[in-house]
Amino acid sequence: MTVHETILEMGRKAVIASRALARLTNEQKSKALRAMADGIHARREGIKSANAIDMEEGKKKGLSGALLDRLLLTDSRIDAMVKGVREVADLHDPVGQILEEKARPNGLHIKKVRVPIGVIAVVYEARPNVTADAASLCIKSGNAIILRGGSESIRSNEAIADALQFGGERHGLPDSALQLVRVTDREAVRELAQLEGIVDLIIPRGGEGLIRAVADVARVPVIKHYKGVCHVFVDESADVEMAVAISENAKCQRPGVCNAMETLLVHSAVAGRFLPAAASVLQRKGVELRGDDAARAIVPSMKRATEEDWFAEYLDLILAVRVVPDVRAAIDHINMYGSHHSDSIVTASVENGEKFVEEVDSAAVYVNASTRFTDGAAFGLGAEMGISTDKLHARGPMGIDELTTYKYVIHGSGQIRE
Amino acid sequence: MTVHETILEMGRKAVIASRALARLTNEQKSKALRAMADGIHARREGIKSANAIDMEEGKKKGLSGALLDRLLLTDSRIDAMVKGVREVADLHDPVGQILEEKARPNGLHIKKVRVPIGVIAVVYEARPNVTADAASLCIKSGNAIILRGGSESIRSNEAIADALQFGGERHGLPDSALQLVRVTDREAVRELAQLEGIVDLIIPRGGEGLIRAVADVARVPVIKHYKGVCHVFVDESADVEMAVAISENAKCQRPGVCNAMETLLVHSAVAGRFLPAAASVLQRKGVELRGDDAARAIVPSMKRATEEDWFAEYLDLILAVRVVPDVRAAIDHINMYGSHHSDSIVTASVENGEKFVEEVDSAAVYVNASTRFTDGAAFGLGAEMGISTDKLHARGPMGIDELTTYKYVIHGSGQIRE
């Protein structure tokens, strides 16, 4: 079979599975999910062996240490995967929820009802745990899922997918509810992204390169975020101690993630007090600072920032620093250079806080808190499928509700249009 | 300037306008919209003159009678346009609505707030009234709009857009909140559809050809419906009189629209009673019936339907008729051949009604009512921007709420991530 035929056949099977999934009760889905978690637990040794081969090949291929770390499955990571699937089993069932209900003057009764999206494709790289995370969220929300992981983790993904299927299909999971694409060719991604009328949504998860590769060829809807260039703006009236703590947390607590701060903006009136204190804390944590002239005049040890630094997603212990004249300039900088992900203002001014949250065009806008909170768990959505910086359908963390759509159900007694 | 440069410049102006629009109060938007309505009223004669030139050129080019009818602007159609814009002015303001609000255990206060999408492009053909309808809905929901009508109505669209701008910009409408693309080249559509990061959403309105032309090249999100292949299924237990009335209404009341019925499915157990009655009423109205063998055995005057008829959107007084053994077969037929738009079951069985609404994968699913009700007004949404058969973001009629997205606004008191 060609790649096209293989993917098309998987798509068609997924459509059939999606119809069966849409009709499962919450209890049936939870039972299947718990069996899937048990499946991973039961096949732990096989998963570790498969992962060992991926790791060995990865080392031979010269994958970076960071990539190898993402690829590695330890017992505690497998435990976390099992726990994650069980937690998804216990989430509320979004399907069937009535979002709106009304009676029209002509007697029609209209309900807007939450239903699964149908078939969701997830394209990811490195981390094999996405196989279990994404599959469990899709199934809990009544969707069939087609998974396509990276070639570097193919054996680990196969072992996990097999374990999930083994567990699930013996406990009510429809055939083909979860399928793993075993073709590691990039062509498979293109085929998936162009399966209009079959794949209802494709979600790329990984680096910007992967996400662009999907978005560039997609004919089906994509939900994505390219990158997270997040800002903290320290306003004139900021509590300096709070601003230092938030800056340190947003930059250092986990620098490699999309909601970490990449650029620090500072009101000129507070820069003289704030910047030395912040620089001292950040530099002690090993952060390389790259400032504009005004910032370097206050903290001369900073490197000089270039225009490129304002666009940069370092995902590392590097921070761009800019002094701005007011909240207006901070908002304009963020809307121009940012990635519409997560941005925060530290201020004692209610007015400036309101202005900032109104005008910064980002998925999550904070007043007096770290940008690091933008995720499903911190927002109380449970596990998340990813974070969207798109504006359509889902923005910010995507939980199971965001993996659903709705239909209108209208009951009448013979009404016709006049 | 090249087409690319022209569209890019319009896009950039629209982004700036969208920021100003997002900050307008409901009162300001309503005032601008009423001034826009007045603008059309005041410039009625100029609009009619422009339209007369479009009509003359259309006749010379040999446009069909149906197309010329869509193009024509009479006084009563201009009145309807003015009234439409005033009605949109009076709609509720979706912007700023708090969709969800919660306090997290760490003291963070999270609000999910409705905000405008930003810049919306609308691509349409023939009907010049879309210029006013689409512009008013986008502005009421705080979005900047870029309009691109067909070449056949370019002068009418220009006159309407100028009148709207003339009225609006003197009463608080930001510059470039509403822009009309005056390039009638198809290239302009492609440029618009590929303006990633500037155009947030593109909505094509018109025939399937136009919609495919947009969807095929789009890099920005598209909301669309290709066609409306709507079904009525007459179940075994249907009240035959009601079923005939619904069938007649769904087919004949306005056959050229997307929510009109194109295929009639009939349970074999009721076909002998229902089909002769329905055929008599429909044929009297001039409907050409195309049936399968079982239907033709009962009503021999039907033409023979081919496989293609099940996929057909006639938009005309033609109807495909098929006899099916049960509700299961009806659902399968609809999911296979339909366009996921609007489908109805006529039944006295609560069970079959529930099965039908659960399993038919369409935007609007009816029990005992005509499919003709699928629109914004009938659903109580006010005016509509179009109907979506997509599943992401908006499904079914799109009112002003569907022209918005949301952002998360989080207030803290110095919270950092542990």
Spatial contact of A349 and A343, defined as CB atoms under 8 Å apart: no
CB contact under 8 A, B363 and A249: no
Q: Name which of B239, B358, B417 is nearest A370 (Cβ-Cβ).
A: B417
Q: Do A409 and B253 touch (CB under 8 A)?
A: no
pLDDT of residue A16: 95
Helix (H) or strand (E) holding B216: helix B208-217
Say if residues A371 and A230 touch (Cβ distance below 8 Å). yes
Retrieve residue B415's tokens: 């919270």
The angle, 0 to 180 degrees and rounded to 10, between the axes of the packed helices B75-90 and B44-61 is 120
Chain A residues with CB-CB distance to B353 below 8 A: 411
pLDDT > 90: what percent of chain A?
92
Centroid of chain to Cα B317:
22
Query: Which residues on chain A are in Cβ contact (under 8 Å) with B358?
Result: 22-23
Residue A117: CA count within 13 A, CB half-sphere:
32
Taking CA atoms, what residue in B is nearest to A219?
Answer: B216
What is the Cα–Cα distance from A368 to B409, expressed in whole angstroms?
11
The answer to whether the CB of A266 falls within 8 A of the CB of A378 is no
Collect all residues of chain A within an 8 Å Cβ-Cβ radius of residue B411.
353, 366-369
Question: What's residue B151's pLDDT?
Answer: 93
> By the CB < 8 Å criterion, does B393 face chain A?
yes
The pair of three-digit structure tokens given for residue A11, joined into one six-digit string: 């798509």
What is the average pLDDT across A163-182? 93
pLDDT along chain B (418 residues), means of 10: 95 97 96 97 97 97 91 96 96 96 97 98 92 96 97 96 92 94 91 95 92 91 92 98 98 95 98 98 98 98 98 96 98 97 98 97 98 94 91 95 98 97
Confidence of residue A122 (pLDDT cuts 50, 70, 90): very high
- Does pLDDT of A306 surpass 90? yes
Give residues 184 to 213 of A whose Cβ lies within 8 Å of B. 200-201
- Is there a contact between B379 and A110 if contact means CB atoms under 8 Å apart? yes
Q: Which CATH architecture has domain B3-224+393-411?
A: 3-Layer(aba) Sandwich (3.40)
pLDDT of residue A169: 84
Q: State the residue for tokens 């998987």.
A: A10
Task: Give the separation between CA A339 and CA B316, rounded to whole angstroms.
Answer: 48
CATH of A230-373, one of 3.40.309.10, 3.40.50.1820, 3.20.20.70, 3.30.750.200: 3.40.309.10
Q: Say what the pLDDT of residue B407 is.
A: 98
Cα distances (Å, whole numbers) of residue B122 to B81, B281, B392: 17, 40, 18
pLDDT at B83: 96
Closest chain A residue to B411 measured between Cα atoms?
Answer: A367
Which chain B residue has its CA at the smallest distance from A411's CA? B367
Q: How confident is the model at residue A194, as a pLDDT?
A: 95
Nearest CB neighbour to B108, from listed A362, A365, A373? A373
Query: Could you state, in order of their start, the residue ranges of all structural domains in chain B?
Result: 3-224+393-411, 230-373
Strand ranges of the sheet holding A230-234, from the earlier edge strand across to the other edge: A303-304, A288-291, A318-324, A261-267, A230-234, A342-346, A364-369, B404-415, B109-116, B98-103
Nearest CB among B23, B373, B391 relative to A410 is that of: B373
Sign for the CA dihedral angle at B285, B290, B291, B295 comes to positive
Q: Tell me what pLDDT residue A37 has.
A: 97
Contact assignment for B110 to A379 by CB distance below 8 Å: yes
Phi, psi (rounded to 5 degrees) for B352: -65, -35
Residue A107 has pLDDT above 90, yes or no: yes
Nearest CA in chain A to B366: A410
The values of phi and psi at residue A73, to 5°, are: -110, 115
Residues 353-382 of B with CB under 8 A from A: 353, 357-359, 361-370, 372-374, 378-380
How far does the CA of residue B251 sit from the closest CA of chain A (Å)? Answer: 11
Q: Is B413 at the interface with chain A, CB within 8 A?
A: yes
What pLDDT is recorded for position B397? 96
Residue A226 has pLDDT above 90, yes or no: no
Contact, B266 vs B292, CB < 8 A? no
Quick one: pLDDT at residue A383? 84
What was the pLDDT predicted at B126?
78
Q: Which residues contact A263 (CB under 8 A, 6 or more apart)?
A: A229, A230, A231, A309, A310, A319, A320, A321, A322, A333, A337, A338
pLDDT at B225: 87
Question: What confidence category does residue A323 fall into, taking pLDDT thresholds of 50, 70 and 90?
Answer: very high
Chain A contacts of B245, Cβ < 8 Å? 414, 416
Residue A393 has its nearest CB partner, among B110, B392, B396, at B392
Q: What is the sign of the dihedral through the CA atoms of B93, B94, B100 and B106? A: negative
Q: Give the pLDDT confidence of A392-407 residue by residue, as tens digits.
A: 999 999 999 999 999 9
